[in-house]
Structure 1
Amino acid sequence: MSAPRYTPTAQAVQDRITSYADTFGPLLRSYLIQLGEAFDHPAESAFTPNALSLVSDLALAGGKRQRAAFVYEAARLPGTEAVAGAADIGALAIELLQTALLIHDDLVDNSSTRRGIRSTFGSYTAQMPAHPQYAMGMTVMAGDLASYLAADVIAASDLPADLALAMTRVILRAGKETYCGQMIDLERDFTALPDLAFLDTVSDYKSGRYSIIAPIQLGLLAAGHDPAPHHDTLHRYSRAVGILGQIRDDYISFFGDPKVTGKPDSVDARAGRLSYPLREALAAATIREKHHMRTVLGRTDATDADIDMVRDIAYTHGVDETLRTMMGQRAQQARDEAATWHLLGWDPDAVGFFAESTLWGAERAS
């Protein structure tokens, strides 16, 4: 699986997200440099500045900056002038929260790489090979540090107090709901075979709440617009996009090329994680194939040949095509929801961005 080739519509979305990323990247780097220079920590401690350095490394290692782009685009929706600097602060906060969640996610998944570099957990494991419990503990604390920074960047800003409070509440709610999603994500793997509704709920809480609705809420607040009256339509949109995004990420993780994804392609299988591809493969497999899969899933010592066997079973039953169909359905669902935002009098170009970004999301799995 190579890097995606986009249709012109999806490419236009990608180009706009890239333009935001090009602007946001230096802002994030400047913030992290200033933070490092002014960071209050025990002078005797080497672990503390190292933790901040690892947080910074992951935050700056790449990523599409889709969440930051959603903040900036949502600030355009009402057609009003945004509060100076508010969208920047919202974008910094959501990307720092993303960093925190990735750090914890890699610990939970026992993933050694992220974004083409060592994950924070991988770095600590390498630094502390004789102390695995310390490596896990430091990973948790580094992730917690990034979580607090996500709220602190708002609290320490010069934004009006009422706006800062409202944005902080968005970040805290997004973090709370996402951690609930992480917990039910683990709970999923304690069932014999979760149904799709269960996986969709996981995706809503684990992905849609902080990746989609929170950035839109932050952007609307930055534009001086209360997002509360629009919660239902924003949630319908974010849920559909969140489910689409999780299916796509699971698809890429299972069927993709690690050189493109920046992550191992066998993490879910070796951890026994019942992701969308593995759930669909188990549901479609014959009794004999199920037995073969169960002898591999959850085995950390599974060989590449073992993983290939599981993948071959998935291909045999058209799981790749099934997931593509599911992604297309969710993309259309979200696109139809975004199209209703014209009725709110919101900016047509910004509405179009959110509508077409669903197609971009689906095509990233191509």
Structure 2
Amino acid sequence: MTDTAALVEQVQARLAGHERRFAALFEEYFRTLPARIGAPEFSRFTPDCLGLLRDLSLRGGKRLRMVLLHEAARLVTDEPVPGLDEAALSVELFQTHALVHDDIIDDSPLRRGGPSTYYAYRERFPGQPRAALGLALLAGDLALALSLTVLLESDAPPEVRRAMVEVQTRASLDTSVGQIIDMERDFTALPGEEVLHQVADFKTARYSVLAPMRLGLLAAGGKPELHDESLRRYARLAGISGQMRDDYLDLFGEAEVMGKPTGTDLADGRRNYLVRAVLTAADDSGRAVVEAALGDAAARTPETVAAVRDIARRCGAEAELRADMRHYAERAAAEAAGWRSRWRPEAVAFFEHLPLWNVQRAL
């Protein structure tokens, strides 16, 4: 077995084990949630909203955030940790919140192979766009409130519960700023690389990597504040690599695998890592094709997507992004390698492998 194959197999095994256990936990959480919400008996919209959140949440993918949380706890101990299940529910509910709002901002009809919450409401309320938009926004807000409430109701010690709520509240603030600067980026003809890094850090890395790791360490008594600088570096590097992967797959991925169509970033006018690389490296005619496609939903045809793919390959932008993706993953892995004297080496190895595995599954 090659080193790469062994790496993929190791990470896949850890992911599968966590996912099987969490699927049952999440299912049970949503089964008992309506009775605990305490909505008025007359309300039909509240259980319908919870049903849509449940549907989106249970259509989850690799559950990497939940896995990061569990593996962060394993850095400290391999024993059961009070409050870890609730922290796992919290990070996945927060992800549901982020996806609902993302799909409103992007006007996305599909998410995880099914209808987005926004479009599900549009189907329920044809001819009433304000109601559909309002209910979708409230669904996302409700998921955020649930992500905090589940921490307050956990069996972790009071001081740990408070610290975990602070982590998720900060993640919410950072993600909101990330969404704002993500939209602001697209008003710049050619955003600088550091701008893209900041967007990836605020919008993705801080809630998808840093917050789950902080929560896992907190639950296990690991005192993340003592190692915050290193955790931040790891999260930022892994987040940049992961965002490059997402940008790459939006053009070069397979719609059936991703659960959404390719070329959406082009149609939405998103000047992401790959678009920046193409606009920087292509000749005048290639740049003209890309600029014409940016922000033009009508231009998102298989022919246009194929043309931009061809330009990206010919000018070297595809190869450049793949190399950059691996570069940042390797830097994240090197950061994690420095934890071996601090935490359990067998758990540290997972964080070394994860960024490289994430790149490998994109190429």
TM-score normalised by the chain length of structure 2: 0.96
Contact 1:107 1:121 in 2 (8 A): yes
Q: Does 1:246 align with 2:255?
A: no
Identity %: 42
Q: Does 1:314 align with 2:289?
A: no
Instruction: Give me the whole-angstrom Cα distance separating, in 2, the residues matched to 1:83 and 1:22.
Output: 18
The residue number in structure 2 matching 1:325 is 323
Instruction: Give me the whole-angstrom Cα distance separating, in 2, the residues matched to 1:133 and 1:272.
Output: 24
Instruction: Give me the whole-angstrom Cα distance separating, in 2, the residues matched to 1:289 and 1:92.
Output: 46
Q: Does 1:274 align with 2:271?
A: yes
The residue number in structure 1 matching 2:225 is 228
Q: How far apart are residue 196 of structure 1 and its match? A: 1.2
Instruction: Give me the whole-angstrom Cα distance separating, in 1, the residues matched to 2:239 and 2:198.
Output: 10
Alignment of 1:140-155 (within 5 A): 140-155=137-152
The residue number in structure 2 matching 1:215 is 212
The residue number in structure 1 matching 2:258 is 261
Q: How far apart are residue 124 of structure 1 and its match? A: 1.4
Q: Secondary structure at the match of 2:293?
A: coil
Q: Does 1:112 align with 2:109?
A: yes
Alignment of 1:154-169 (within 5 A): 154-169=151-166
Q: How far apart are residue 90 of structure 1 and its match? A: 1.0
The residue number in structure 2 matching 1:286 is 283
Alpha-carbon displacement from aligned partner over 1:187-241 (angstroms, at most 9, x marks no partner): 0001111011110110011111011111111111111121101000000000000
The range that moved more, 105-114 or 145-154, is 105-114
Q: Does 1:78 align with 2:72?
A: no
Alpha-carbon displacement from aligned partner over 1:321-360 (angstroms, at most 9, x marks no partner): 111101110111001100010122x101100011111111
Contact 2:148 2:168 in 1 (8 A): yes
Q: Does 1:24 align with 2:22?
A: yes
Q: How far apart are residue 135 of structure 1 and its match? A: 1.8
Contact 1:83 1:224 in 2 (8 A): no
Between 1 and 2, higher relative CO (CA 8 Å, sep ≥ 6) is seen in 1
Q: Does 1:9 align with 2:4?
A: no
Displacement over 3 Å in runs of 4+: 79-83
Instruction: Give me the whole-angstrom Cα distance separating, in 2, the residues matched to 1:212 and 1:341.
Output: 16
Alpha-carbon displacement from aligned partner over 1:135-184 (angstroms, at most 9, x marks no partner): 22221111110000000001122322111101111111111111111111
Instruction: Give me the whole-angstrom Cα distance separating, in 2, the residues matched to 1:200 and 1:303.
Output: 26
Give the gaps of 5 or more residues in structure 1.
1-5
Alpha-carbon displacement from aligned partner over 1:274-323 (angstroms, at most 9, x marks no partner): 12111211111222222222222101221412333222211221222111
Q: Structure 1 counterpart of 2:10, which letter?
A: A
Q: Structure 2 counterpart of 1:200, which letter?
A: H
Q: Does 1:296 align with 2:286?
A: no
Instruction: Give me the whole-angstrom Cα distance separating, in 1, the residues matched to 2:8 and 2:226.
Output: 30
Q: Which of these residues, 50, 53, 58, is aligned with residue 51 of structure 2?
A: 53
Q: Structure 1 counterpart of 2:156, which letter?
A: L
TM-score normalised by the chain length of structure 1: 0.95
Q: Structure 1 counterpart of 2:226, which letter?
A: P
The residue number in structure 2 matching 1:127 is 124
Q: Secondary structure at the match of 1:75?
A: helix
The range that moved more, 37-46 or 224-233, is 37-46
Alpha-carbon displacement from aligned partner over 1:78-103 (angstroms, at most 9, x marks no partner): 2374543x211111111110110011
Instruction: Give me the whole-angstrom Cα distance separating, in 2, the residues matched to 1:8 and 1:350.
Output: 16
RMSD: 1.5
Q: Secondary structure at the match of 1:191?
A: coil
The range that moved more, 216-225 or 233-242, is 216-225
